Amino acid sequence: MINKPLRVLLVLGEQPSWSSARYLSYHIHVGMEDGLKAAGVEVTTLMSPLVQQAPKLLQGQKFDQIWVEVMTNGISLDVLEWLSTLAPVRVGLCAESTVYTEEELDAKPEFAFMLVRFRQRLKFLTHLLVGDEEDVGRLACPNLQTAWWLVSANRRFIQDPPLPLPDNFRARFYGHIYGERQRWLSEAALSDLITAAPSSEGKGFVLAYDFWQLVWRGLVKYQVEAYRLNRLYLWGARRFRVKSTANWHRHLQDCSAVVSLPLVFKSFPGRVTEAMAAGRAVLAWQVPQRPLMSQVFLDGEEILLYRQPEQLREHILRLRAEPSLAQQIATRATRRLLAQHTTEIRVGQILEWLATGTAPDYTPR
């Protein structure tokens, strides 16, 4: 008897402009397709703005599992409820924390609405993957199994071995500057040591992406044949994301070390594993009261963790004085990625969890 491959429907959000879309990491977005296919899964992908066309696109189809991004996705509750009838296992993907302070919500006011919408979607799920380890226990209930979802990097984007460092040592921060980050960059101890880097995409790329999104939303509005539209949209989305990710990794290689500053998400952000994949040493904020996060990479060997500006300054000065140490840390981090944290490995761990109930173990081994 021939075993049929597992059928998974992957439902992802996409943003209407690159100014917001650039923050979606390939490795937890369309890059998830790579992991599912590597596991022998038959995967069908839907992305906004075509998610609302799901009843037309998927009429008469059934799946073994549905994986759906549930925090930033613009999917309506009606469509999500309809999708929940297509598979017995329905997995929510949440790469954000679900609890924030008032100060954090002032810096990111859109999160207040997103959290309300997120809570409304939970009733349609059987499983939930969360990026913040604290949310595993916080959101678990009899009808919802939860597990920690740690960032990863697709195998094809991992630079092995890492490229040599630039001749002049540069520690850079890549990301949006707000709240606590602004205060850190203004600190006298750090202001002369960290450079905030510009975007890796040129103006032509940004204009092309925004125009492409505008055209597709127009086609959806005027009800062009849905199945053909979805195939063409996915073709374009993958090309934009692959090109952007390749550019981003090359951009990361312009520096000697990548600094991940405090952020509202209480875990490692995507830029940590992306910088490791690009072959650069990472200095990352050690989030308070997140013990599992602190055990993922070996501190001092594969990553440099810090809690205070003074500690971060000491790390940067040490790497500047010992460039070979930055290269050694980058090399060890690359090996750890390849051994435990590729997206292909991560998807395999998720499938194992769904089949057996055994949650992924991210500790070094």
pLDDT in tens, 50-63: 888 898 889 899 99
| Residue 210, pLDDT score | 92
Query: What are the C-alpha distances in Å from 52 to residues 75, 123, 135, 222, 225?
Result: 7, 19, 28, 13, 13
Neighbours of 60 (CB within 10 A): 4
Strands 171-173 and 127-130: unpaired
Instruction: Name which of 218-232, 251-265, 274-288, 316-330 the model is least confident about.
Output: 218-232
Rounded mean pLDDT of 189-218?
85
Instruction: Name which of 13-27, 128-142, 234-248, 254-268 the model is least confident about.
Output: 13-27
Please work out, in degrees rounded to the nearest 5, the angle formed at the alpha carbon of residue 105 by the alpha carbons of 291 and 286.
Answer: 20
By the 8 A CB rule, do 325 and 346 touch? Answer: no
**Residue 183 confidence (pLDDT) above 80:** yes
**Residue 35 confidence (pLDDT) above 70:** yes
Question: Could you give the CA distance from residue 225 to residue 14 in angstroms, rounded to a whole number?
Answer: 20
More confident residue, 185 or 315: 315
Q: Which of 16, 4, 8, 150 has its CA nearest to residue 72?
A: 16
**Residue 226 confidence (pLDDT) above 80:** no
pLDDT band at 1 (very low <50, low <70, confident <90, very high): very low
Tokens 């001092």 locate to: 300
Rounded mean pLDDT of 187-203?
81
Please report, for the chain, the start and end positions of each structural domain, with discontinuous segments joined by +. 7-154+342-356, 159-197+254-340
Query: What are the C-alpha distances in Å from 175 to residues 24, 40, 69, 272, 317?
Result: 12, 35, 22, 12, 22
CATH code: domain 7-154+342-356 is: 3.40.50.2000
| Residue 139, pLDDT score | 97
Question: Could you give the CA distance from residue 291 to residue 134 in angstroms, rounded to a whole number?
Answer: 10
Tens digits of residue pLDDT in 110-147: 899 999 999 999 999 999 999 999 999 999 999 999 99
SS3 percent helix, strand, coil of the chain, rounded to 5, is: 45, 15, 40
Dihedral in degrees, nearest 10, Cα atoms 48, 198, 268, 37: 40
The set of residues, in sequence order, having a beta carbon less than 8 Å from that of 115 and lying 6+ positions away, is 98, 100
By the 8 A CB rule, do 153 and 342 touch? Answer: yes
By the 8 A CB rule, do 50 and 217 touch? Answer: no
Identify the DSSP state of 4: P
Indicate the pTM of the whole model.
Answer: 0.94
Strands of the 194-196 sheet, one edge to the other: 194-196, 171-173, 257-260, 281-285, 304-306
Q: Which of 107, 110, 104, 118 has its CA nearest to residue 71?
A: 118
Assigned fold of 159-197+254-340: Rossmann fold (3.40.50)
Tens digits of residue pLDDT in 262-317: 999 999 999 999 999 999 999 999 999 999 999 999 999 999 999 999 999 999 99
Query: Is-cis flag, bond preceding 49, omega within 30?
Result: yes
Tens digits of residue pLDDT in 78-89: 999 999 999 999
| Residue 182, pLDDT score | 82
Rounded mean pLDDT of 92-97?
96
User: Cα 230 to the chain's mean position, in Å?
Assistant: 23
Rounded mean pLDDT of 190-212?
86
The set of residues, in sequence order, having a beta carbon less than 8 Å from that of 195 and lying 6+ positions away, is 170, 171, 172, 173, 255
Q: Are 7-154+342-356 and 159-197+254-340 equal in CATH topology? A: yes
By the 8 A CB rule, do 158 and 339 touch? Answer: no
pLDDT band at 224 (very low <50, low <70, confident <90, very high): low
Q: What is the mean pLDDT of the chain?
A: 92
Question: Could you give the CA distance from residue 204 to residue 55 in angstroms, rounded to a whole number?
Answer: 35
